[in-house]
């Protein structure tokens, strides 16, 4: 049975070798502003949470999320990186992730990703943002 888990904060170091590949692919496909080293430091420093989707003992996907205070005073859960094979096998745990975020006080979830993520995260709205980068 495929299930969503928030890894215990003290287990990040033990689990990292098992999830790093999933997260590395997510970082490589992103805009290049985050690395697996940064994600691990955020999780080990208790500034972010390591999230897992597992089929029994097998890790199918991994993600890193953090909670952010918004300008209106509410809390948002930000999905910083997510990666893993066979999205069709684990996308049904998205409501479990949303329930976990709600339980921890989030009033919204935000994420940035490739355009294809709009087909996965149904019910999410696109914000009119642009990502700009200038090499110096």
Tens-digit pLDDT string for the chain (136 aa): 899 999 999 999 999 999 999 999 888 876 667 899 999 999 999 999 999 999 999 999 999 999 999 999 999 999 989 888 777 777 888 899 999 999 999 999 988 777 777 777 778 787 776 666 667 8
Domain boundaries, the chain: 2-120
> Does 3.40.1710.10 match the CATH number of domain 2-120?
no
Residues 81 and 16: their CA atoms lie apart, in Å, by 14
What is this structure's pTM?
A: 0.87
Write out pLDDT tens, residues 13-36: 999 999 999 999 888 876 667 899
């Amino acid at each position: 049975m495929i299930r969503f888990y928030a890894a215990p904060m003290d287990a990040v170091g033990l689990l990292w070798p098992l999830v790093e590949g999933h997260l590395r692919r997510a970082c490589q496909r992103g805009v290049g502003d985050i690395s697996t080293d940064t994600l691990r430091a955020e999780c080990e420093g208790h500034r972010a949470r390591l999230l897992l989707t597992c089929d029994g003992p097998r890790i199918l996907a991994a993600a890193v999320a953090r909670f952010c205070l918004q300008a209106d005073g509410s809390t948002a859960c930000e999905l910083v990186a997510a990666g893993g094979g066979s999205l069709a096998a684990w996308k049904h745990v998205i409501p479990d992730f949303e329930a976990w975020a709600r339980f921890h006080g989030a009033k919204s979830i935000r994420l940035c990703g490739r355009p294809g993520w709009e087909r996965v995260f149904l019910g999410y709205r696109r914000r009119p943002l642009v990502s700009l980068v200038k090499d110096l």
